[in-house]
Amino acid sequence: LSVVTVSEKESGPRMPVPLCSICGAESTGIHFGVEACAACSAFFRRTVVLRKNYECAKSGECSVSKGKLLALW
């Protein structure tokens, strides 16, 4: 599990912020059993509710990362 350190006050203690297990952005909590950000949580919730199936348009070599949140599925 990776963390990012942020400070609430300049001189205050630094608190670790967990990262999203899917894309690496700051997590908003445990969603579907893993640390996840709001965007990834919403994506997976919609996927389940709408019973969607996605297929990578790039011969199975699609990757998800913080810098590549938009993908052609």
**Residue 36, phi then psi, degrees to nearest 5:** -150, 150
Assess contact for 17 and 27: CB atoms under 8 A.
yes
At residue 35, the pLDDT reads 95
Q: What pLDDT, on the 0 to 100 scale, is given for residue 62?
A: 76
- Model confidence pLDDT, tens digit, residues 51-63: 998 877 777 777 7
Q: Enumerate long-range contacts of 20-24, CB under 8 Å, 24 or more apart.
A: 22/64, 23/64, 23/65, 23/66, 23/69, 24/65, 24/66
Q: Name the pTM for this structure.
A: 0.61
pLDDT at 3 (0 to 100): 60
In this prediction, residue 37 carries a pLDDT of 94
Q: Which residues of the chain have pLDDT under 70?
A: 1-12, 64-73
Closest alpha carbon to 65 in 21, 30, 16:
21
CATH topology of domain 1-73: Erythroid Transcription Factor GATA-1; Chain A (3.30.50)
